Structure 1
Amino acid sequence: MTSTTTNTGTDGRITVRISDPGELIAAVPHLLTYRPGPSVVLLNHGGRERMITPVIRADLPDETCEPDMAGDLVRAVLRHPGAGVTVVIIGRHPGHRAPPGRLPHDGLARRLTSTFGNAGRPVDHALWVPEIRGGARWRCYHERCLRGVLPDDRETVLAATMATSGQVTYGSREEMARLLDPDDPAAITRRQHMLDEAIDNGLMRPVAANKTQQTTAASSAPDSRGEAEPADFIAVRGAPPGSSGEAKPTGHAAMDGAAPDWFGEAQSAEHLAVVRAALARAVAGDFDLSDEDVVSLAMALSDLTVRDRCLTTADPPGEPPSTAAERLWLELVRRTPMPERAEPAVLLGYSAYRRGDGVLAALAFDNALAAHPGHRLAELLRICLSHQLPPDTLRRLSDCQEGGLMPT
């Protein structure tokens, strides 16, 4: 019997249908975009044709923390519509000892199954596997005791489909994080000197906003205290996989909740031209950025009215233009000194979040906060991610901006 089939829709999207639990476990690295270590992974089957969205992963907890984690994970999933859930537990927490005759973390699996059931979202499968690799034996926590052997996850239909679409599955979360590492420390230092010189020459001097705008913006920002570190969150799409004194507070003031860096209209127009030219080159496949290009773009994105307009480049998510823009933000993250690096990092995170890649989004927001601690937009988006807000709910951030940055 064929357990995996594919279908190409009229919009060109490929749908992969998986019916075998072992192949569903093997799909987890591709759905997460990296191979997880010891984890609990929840696959929410919802929407049309039981598409998997979202996928939520967390490190396995200590046994004493299992009740709280189970409640948090269930609440996160229930924010999304769905008809059922698959629970996949990978490996075991260090020091965990399963009782005789029981699978590791049996209590966590049972608690998740019971809590989801009470909420009207049944658990279709609760599965355990020591690690995700070809040949590993998986078991089912349910009494029917399904079991089997994992296929090589690199050779499945889903793996081939993802590779064909250009999506990469990384060996670990750490390997994925290295995507954002600076490309050349000497070049970063050289560009830092160039930026310092530009600031000294007054090329980045903002026009001061009036005190009323600053106070209004700061008081309207949500309180970010008491937020927990989020688990990895993936919303899978498709396959189961400028102004001066009278400025309106729509840029830095509205989104970052701090004293805004207003630039004059002429400066902002120049910055927009720099960004448009870079986006046009990116759409054409040209990501070869000179030191001067990086510095000019860092200066342009420091104009936060321009930065906020760049949020519009994330739409439509996953399409070639927005993918090119996201690649440009990634290149700038790797090439831009701190603290200016925070702006392309938050744009990268927003784009990744909008297309459902919560792992990359979290890495990018963390990068932005490391480059600029207290960066308000990064903090707010990180909170949205920690609450697993669906990506579509963020669209209002770009909808309220004037677009027209991408080439036509």
Structure 2
Amino acid sequence: MSAASDLTHAITIRKLADVVGIVPYLLGFHPSKSLVAVVIDDEKLKGVVRLDLTQDSAEMAERTAHLVKVLEGNHIHEVLLVGYGPGSSVTPMMDAARGAVHGAGIVIVEAIRVDDGRYWSYICTDIACCPPEGVPVDPSCSAPAAAAVVAGRHAFPDRAALAATLDPPQELDQGRAQSVTREACSKAKEASKAGGGWFAESVERVVAALDRVQAGDDLDPEAVAWLGVCLTAKPVRDMAMTYVQQYDIATHLRLWTEVTRMVQPAFAAAPATLLAFAAMCRGDGPLASIALERALSANPRYSLALLLIEGLMVGLSPTEVLARGWSELADDITAQVRECPSAAWPLLPEGW
């Protein structure tokens, strides 16, 4: 479930137009061919769950069962359902979702379909407020949408546009990036053979990068290359997560977005997973989702990314996924490296 933790203090839902206006900002993009469950408690946003529409009955049952599992797992008692698209596409899955959610004892406060600047209710039969031709709505004019913009949220035209924010920058010199990465790999191999303080030096590079980004500076290709190499060591990557208690989430998001975009593709799994972790800490499920897809495109078996995906699907926080706090995690990592220094040596991708 994508949480709305950084928006709840600023946004109050009072009418259906408010829901239509805020959903794109909670998802990070304007939905189409989607069914969205919006969780509202005491007029405050709590989160959203989005499903792709399907006409296949087996897939429909599977997706609506997943929706119920997420809602139950988060102890949700009331939900508002929003379908996006023409009636022929939305209604079959809306009916299936309503049946599954109602069967689980969860109250559906409203169910609507949104298409072409209008919405229709599946529940209200009063033509005075819900006429057959639908109710005109302009999402961009709603107060919640304005509040989301002020809070720093964006709504891209579609999910592909959101995913493209992690593409390499056009100005990136790929030749130089590859060259400095190979140089960093060569030095890392030498350091591994010599033993010594690889772990401490790698963690220092992570801290230095956080400091630079927090100060508003960009990373140079050498710094990005070294981070990519250092983070192949799982204890270094895990230690980077613990700094969520020392640097604000915005700094983590900027850093790991920059590294994910600029690092050589073979090294993208760790920084992309750290970006997903930071997004989950902020309650930004859409960004976490595309970051995890990026991580798994680099390494389909990357265990931490797979673990975070499971947590994201059922609405768990990062601390719940890891089953420990940050201080405890840092202590465990330090003890592990002290006992077995080679555990923190880089695990370079094949060919590097």
Residue 306 of structure 2 is aligned to residue 375 of structure 1? no
Q: Residue 114 of structure 1: CA displacement? A: 3.0
Match of 1:68 in 2: 62
Deviation at 1:275, TM superposition (A): 1.5
Once the two structures are superposed, residues 206-255 of structure 1 have per-residue CA deviations (whole angstroms, 9 ceiling, x without a partner) of 46xxxxxxxxxxxxxxxxxxxxxxxxxxxxxxxxxxxxxxxxxxxxxxxx
Does 1:56 pair with 2:41? no
The question of whether the paired residues in 2 share the 8 Å contact of 1:32 and 1:359 is answered with: yes
1:282-310 CA-to-partner distances (Å, cap 9, x unmatched) read 11222x22122212222332332121111
- The 2-side partners of 1:366 and 1:12 are apart by 25
- Structure 2: distance between partners of 1:122 and 1:182: 44
Secondary structure in structure 1 of the residue aligned to 2:323 = helix
Calculate the TM-score normalised by the size of structure 1: 0.71
Deviations 1:106-132 (A, max 9, x none): 34333322332232211000101224x
Alignment of 1:278 onto 2:232: no
- Partner-residue secondary structure (3-state), 2:240: helix
Give how far 1:15 is off.
3.1
Match of 1:30 in 2: 25
Give 2:239's aligned amino acid: R
Q: Which residue, 107, 111, 116 being the options, matches 2:101?
A: 116
Q: Is the alpha carbon distance of 1:144 and 1:298 closer, same or farther for their aligned partners in structure 2, counting shifts above 3 Å?
A: same
Post-superposition Cα deviations, 1:167-218, rounded to whole Å, max 9, x if no partner, equal 22211111111111011486233222222233334556546xxxxxxxxxxx
Aligned to 1:303: 233
Secondary structure of residue in 1 paired with 2:267 = coil
The equivalent residue for 2:291 is 364
| Counterpart among 142, 159, 167 of residue 123 in structure 2 | 142
Q: Measure the CA separation in 2 of the matches of 1:195 and 1:390.
A: 33
- Contact 2:205–2:227 under 8 Å retained in 1: yes
In the TM superposition, what are the counterparts of 1:181-260 in structure 2 within 5 Å?
A: 181-184=167-170, 187-203=173-189, 205-206=191-192
The whole-number CA distance in structure 1 between the counterparts of 2:71 and 2:243 is: 28
| Matching residue of 1:242 | none
Give the Cα–Cα distance (whole angstroms) in 2 for the partners of residues 344 and 202 of structure 1. Answer: 18
**Contact map agreement 1:85 1:121 (CA 8 A) in 2:** yes
Amino acid across the alignment from 2:22 = A
User: Which residue matches 1:401?
Assistant: 329
Give the Cα separation in 2 of the matches to 1:391 and 1:153. Answer: 32
Displacement after TM superposition at 1:401 (Å): 2.3
Partners of 1:76 and 1:387 within 8 A in 2: yes
Q: Match of 2:34?
A: 39
CA contact (8 A) 1:40 1:58 kept: yes
Structure 1 contact 18–24 (Cα < 8 Å) conserved:
yes
Q: Cα 1:139–1:339, aligned 2, differ >3 Å: closer, same or farther?
A: same
Question: Which whole-Å CA distance do the structure 1 matches of 2:158 and 2:277 have between them?
Answer: 22
Q: 1:354, 1:398 → 2: CA distance?
A: 13
- Whole-angstrom distance in 2 between the partners of 1:199 and 1:105: 51
Give the C-alpha shift of residue 384 in structure 1.
Answer: 2.5
Helix, strand or coil for the counterpart of 1:383?
helix
Normalized per residue, the structure richer in helix is: 2
Taking structure 2 as the reference length, the TM-score comes to 0.81
Percent identical pairs in the alignment equals 28
Distance 1:69 1:278, change over 3 A: closer
- Structure 2 gaps, min length 5: 1-5, 332-352
CA distance in structure 1 between the partners assigned to 2:151 and 2:80 by the alignment:
25
Q: Is the 8 A contact 1:61 1:69 kept in 2?
A: no
Q: CA RMSD in A?
A: 2.7
Aligned counterpart for 1:77 among listed residues 71, 76, 98: 71
How far apart in 2 are the matches of 1:297 and 1:68? 40
Counterpart-to-counterpart distance in 2, 1:85 and 1:204 = 57
* Matches of 1:303 and 1:63, distance apart in 2: 43
C-alpha deviation, 1:265, in angstroms: 4.9
1:313 and 2:243 matched: yes
Alpha carbons 1:365, 1:382 under 8 Å: kept: yes
Cα shift at 1:70: 2.1
**Cα offset for 1:56?**
0.6
Q: State the structure with bigger RCO (CA 8 A, min sep 6), 1 or 2.
A: 2
Aligned in 2, Cα 1:179/1:204: closer, same or farther, shift over 3 Å?
farther
Q: Unpaired segments of 5 or more residues in structure 1?
A: 1-10, 99-103, 208-262, 404-408
Answer whether contact 1:39 1:60 (CA < 8 A) is retained. yes
Q: Which amino acid aligns with 2:112?
A: L
Q: Secondary structure at the match of 2:32?
A: coil
* Paired position in structure 2 for 1:291: 221
Alignment-derived partner of residue 129 in structure 1:
114
**SS of residue matched to 1:120:** coil
